[in-house]
Amino acid sequence: MKINAITMAAPATFSVPKKAVEKNPQVTNPIENRFPKQQTNDGSKAIMNYFFGMQNVPSFKGYPCSTGEFVVKQIDNVPCACCGAEMMNSKEQNEFVAKASKAKGEELANIFAENLHKIRRNERPVARELMERATKYPNQKLSDLADKDMDSRKLYNKENLIVLNNVDKKAQELYGEKNKVSKFVQSQKSLIEKNVRNGFGRGTFLANLKKLTADDQEKSQKVLTEAIELPLNENGVAKVIQKVQASDSVGIARRLIATAVMTTEHIHPKSQGGPNNTENYMGECAECNNNRGSENLNQYWQSTYPNMPSATQKYADYISEQIITGKMGTRYDDYMVDLEKAVESESKDAIDLKVLNPEEIDKARKERGLPDPKPLPVKPKPEKSETKKDETKISGSKKPQGSKKPHGGKKPTRRPNIKK
């Protein structure tokens, strides 16, 4: 449903440089081929509307913008499209680092407690330990707390038990007190308590849990959402310990949330020809983005984050709300249908999203008496901690923190990044 859109012709004095309206020649991927753009001049109309202050660009199919201009990254509390856990944006990341690196005692413990649900799976056991130490040693700063012995096996086991208890609780809530999921969880807990070598593994546990709950997909997704909070592996936890023990307080704080930071995921991998374009983007935490690499979306989520269908839906619902309430500017009205197409195509229809089309978004606004959104204002300067592509490389903690350069000194603006 191409909207009524822009029937108004631009006044003759307006001319858009030809260069700016050409299609991006690199866009040759299966998503594009399966869902070809219907109006080749949408881009030029949208650009005219954008630059000349006219509104109403609802049918525009996404700018070939760079990941840094993906507005989703500036919004608070966005759930990861892959694992479903809330992510941190760069502003929140900086605030956390500034506060946690200076605080001590109860104050520090409270900062951790508030953010523990955002801290990711291999980092959380370490964060939890530091949080407990902060209460025990009220006069010590983060780097002193991290200096004391930390046993990766002990922290890993402890975290696994915490998560398994949550899975058990959720299973009892969904299936009643006595149920096969809780029984299975108990057997796994005893393996951990006896510290059986190679006795408990995240992948095997998730696969079994998926089978056990297969008869009711809705309940299954709820149980799996609890279960994917398990640490990814003991080795990963050990690496986090190593890093924090070699860092100062700022480095420790930064490392603990490095994987919680929102990144831009190319739904169809860039390495396989996926375009640098909003219609191929979704917000994902660094942990999920880093783990996927360019793996096929289906193989990837089924084994590591089997709750992804409900997580992607949660992401879509959250972003829809931001679009309706005008937090993302006009040009995202088409994003939801683009997201649906891209995800369904990339997952071979295994992830079936329910999203609002631009007309429904418009209707929702009117029903709630909300004004049509305006383009977002131009940002005066780059965000300091904006990390580069997919910022998935967790930087070494010895390096001075917060010294990331803005991309090649290029000034980010709201202007679409059209080069070719």
**By CB under 5 A, residue 285 contacts Zn ion:** yes
Tokens of 132: 């407990």
Distance CA 67, CA 356 (A): 23
- Residue 88 DSSP one-character state: B
Residue 173 beta carbon to Zn ion: minimum distance, rounded to whole angstroms: 24
Q: Please state, as a whole number, how many other Cβ atoms lie within 10 Å of the Cβ of residue 282.
A: 25
* Shortest spacing between CB 336 and Zn ion, in angstroms: 20
Q: Which is nearer to Zn ion, 64 or 283 (CB)?
A: 283
Q: Are 386 and 69 in contact (CB under 8 A)?
A: no
Residue 158 sits at φ, ψ, to 5 deg, of: -60, -45
308 binds Zn ion (CB under 5 A): no
Burial class (CB in 10 A: 0-12, 13-18, 19+), 212: middle
Binding mask 29-48 for Zn ion (x = CB under 5 A): --------------------
Q: Is 288 an interacting residue with respect to Zn ion (CB under 5 A)?
A: yes
Nearer to Zn ion, 80 or 328 (CB): 80
Q: Which stretch binds Zn ion (CB under 5 A): 78-86, 93-101, 187-195, 200-208?
A: 78-86
Phi, psi of 285 (to 5 degrees): -70, 155
Number of residues counted as binding Zn ion (CB under 5 A): 5
10 vs 378: CA distance, rounded Å:
23
Residues 245-284: x where in contact with Zn ion by CB under 5 A, - otherwise, as a string: ----------------------------------------
Least distance from Zn ion to the Cβ atom of residue 27, Å: 27
DSSP-assigned letter for residue 225: H
Pairing status of strand 281-285 against strand 262-266: antiparallel
Closest CB to Zn ion among 50 and 70? 70
- Report in angstroms how near the CB of residue 85 gets to Zn ion at its nearest: 6
Which span (49-57, 150-158, 287-295, 355-363) binds Zn ion, by CB under 5 A? 287-295
Task: Decide if residue 82 touches Zn ion (CB under 5 A).
Answer: yes
Nearest-approach distance from CB 393 to Zn ion, in angstroms: 16
Contact 57, 330 (CB under 8 A): yes
- Count CA atoms within 13 Å of residue 370 on its CB side: 17
Q: In whole angstroms, what is the distance from residue 82 CA to residue 120 CA?
A: 13
Q: How far is the CB of 84 from Zn ion (least distance, A)?
A: 7
| Smaller CB separation from Zn ion, 49 or 259 | 259
Nearer to Zn ion by Cβ, of 30 and 293: the residue is 293
Nearer Cβ to Zn ion (43/283): 283
Nearer Cβ to Zn ion, position 111 or 288? 288
Select the residue interacting with Zn ion from 57, 80, 224, 261 (CB under 5 A): 80
Does position 83 bind Zn ion by CB under 5 A?
yes
Distance CA 224, CA 288 (A): 16
User: Can residue 126 be called a binding residue for Zn ion (CB under 5 A)?
Assistant: no
Q: Which is nearer to Zn ion, 309 or 373 (CB)?
A: 309
Work out whether 353 is an interface residue with Zn ion (CB under 5 A): no
Subset of 178-207 contacting Zn ion (CB under 5 A):
none
Question: At closest approach, how far in Å is the CB of 289 from Zn ion?
Answer: 8
Q: Which stretch binds Zn ion (CB under 5 A): 81-89, 134-142, 187-195, 378-386?
A: 81-89
Q: Which is nearer to Zn ion, 60 or 300 (CB)?
A: 300
| Helices of type H across 176-272 | 180-193, 202-212, 217-227, 234-245, 249-257
Q: Residues 6 or more apart from 33 whose CB is under 8 A from it? A: none
DSSP 8-state symbol, 261:
B
How far is residue 394 from each of residues 264, 290, 291, 397, 399, measured CA to CA in Å? 15, 9, 12, 9, 11
Minimum CB distance to Zn ion smaller for 72 or for 285? 285
CA distances from 202 to 188, 214, 269, 301, 369 (A): 11, 18, 26, 14, 47
Residue ranges that bind Zn ion, judged by CB under 5 A: 80, 82-83, 285, 288
